[in-house]
Structure 1
C-alpha cells in the first residue's frame, strides 16, 4: 500500500506577532526555517503577509512567493485549489494577521479540509493572546472557555454577560471573550455595570508589546478606575465567586 503522507506536502500553521514587535523576539527559529523553505502561503492580507515574510527572511525573493487569500468570502472550492500544491508534494504555510491561525482567527476550515485529504497538519509555536491572557490572569487554567465576540446589540450583550457570569459561577470556569478594539470601552462599561462586585475581571491588552497591560481585580475595584482601551486589542476574562 502506498504511503500517501510521505508523498504529500505539509500544511504549516504559522503564528505571527501580536503587534509591531521584532518577530524573532516572540517567535522561535523554527518559523524562520519553515518560511525559508516554503513558497506557497495562504494568507489573510497579501501586503501584510509579504511584509512579515520579509522581516523574517529578508533574503527570500518576493517574486518567488505564491500567495492565496483567505477571508470570509473564500469558498470551499477555492480551499480545494489552495491545497493542491500539498497533494503534489509541496509544503504550504497558513499565516495569520496576528497570533495563531485557527484560534480566534481564520484557518480552521482549511485545516479541517487538510485532515480530510490526509495532509499532515503542523502547528508551530507562537503567541496566542488567549493563552497568554489566561496565563497572566491568575484565573482557572484548568477549566476555561473562549466565547469570541459578544453580541453587538446592547440588551443582548448585557444578557450574555449575565449568562457568562452564571456559567462561571456554576462550573467554576473562567470565561474569556474579545471585542472589536474601538468598542472596548463600551464593553468594559457594560461589564462593570452588569457583573457582581466580587466577580473578578482580567483585562489583558497590548500583549507582548511595550505597552502590555494585564491586570485582574474584582469589579468593585474596577469601578474606581478603568484603563482607556480604545483601539487597543484586548482579551477580557471573568471568574465569578
Structure 2
C-alpha cells in the first residue's frame, strides 16, 4: 500500500540522519519539502535523486490535495520539514490530518528534534514536560499566554527567534520570577551553545555576549516549585 512517510531530517549536522530515512528518501517517488533549497543541500550531500516538490504554509491546501491524489494513484511520498521532525511547529500537520481523514497510510520515520535534543542536555527535571512551540508575536498576547502557564508544574519548551528573545526573557521574568532556564542555540551546529541557569544570570550573559542573539533558539523554562 502506498503511503505518506513523515521523515525527520537533521537540525544542523548533516550526519544526524538515520539510515532508514536515507533509504526512504531514495525509494519514494516524491519528497514534499517545507523549503526545497534546504532539503536540496541534504539530498545533494547524500546523492539522493528523488524529485523535490514544495509543501509549505502558503500552498499547503492545494499542495496537500495533490500529494494525497498521488498517493491514492500508487505513489509513495516523503514529507520533510525545514529541519528536524515534521509537524513540530510546521505546516505538516494539515497534510497528515487530511491523510488520516481519508484513510491514507501515514508512516513515521523518527529522528532529530531540537526540542528533545535540548531536553536531553538541559539538566532540568524533564520526567514530564509541555511543548509550547512559538509564542504569539504581539507582546500583549504573548504575556497573556505566558500568564496561563504560571501554574504549570512541568518544564515547558519554547521556540523563539533570536531577534526577540530578550523581550521574551523580560516577559518571563515579570510573570514567573527568577526561574531556571536552559538556553539552547544552534543545536548540532558549529556554534552550538547549551546552558542552564537562573534567568537573571542568563540575561547578564546575553548582554555580555551578543553572539548569543544569533541563530535558532530553543528555551526550556522550569517554573518555580
Q: Normalising to structure 2: TM-score of the pair?
A: 0.86
- Corresponding residue for 1:232? 215
Aligned 8 A contact 2:4 2:78 in 1? yes
1:55 correspondence with 2:35: no
Q: Residues 198-232 of structure 1: CA distance to partner in whole angstroms, max 9, x if unpaired?
A: x2111111111232222111234335433543231
Residue 144 (1) aligns with residue 129 (2): yes
Deviation, structure 1 residue 51: 2.6
Unpaired runs of 5+ residues, structure 1, are 1-7
For the Cα contact (< 8 Å) 2:60–2:94, is it kept in 1? Answer: no
**What residue in structure 2 maps to residue 178 of structure 1?**
159
| Corresponding residue of 1:211 | 191
Rounded to whole Å, the distance in 2 between the matches of 1:157 and 1:35 is 38
Answer yes or no: is the 8 Å Cα contact 1:15–1:124 preserved in 2: yes
Q: Look up the SS of the partner of 1:122 in the other structure.
A: strand
Higher strand share: 2
Q: Is the 8 A contact 1:167 1:173 kept in 2?
A: no
Cα separation, partners in 2 of 1:75 and 1:218, compared to 1, 3 Å = closer
Unaligned runs of 5+ in 2: none
Kept in 1, the 8 Å contact 2:118–2:194? The answer is: yes
SS in 2 for 1:89: coil
State the Cα distance separating 1:9 from its structure 2 match: 0.9
Larger Rg: 1
C-alpha RMSD of the superposition: 2.2
Alignment partners' CA distance in 2, 1:75 and 1:217: 40
The alignment covers a number of residue pairs equal to 221
Partner of 2:80: 95
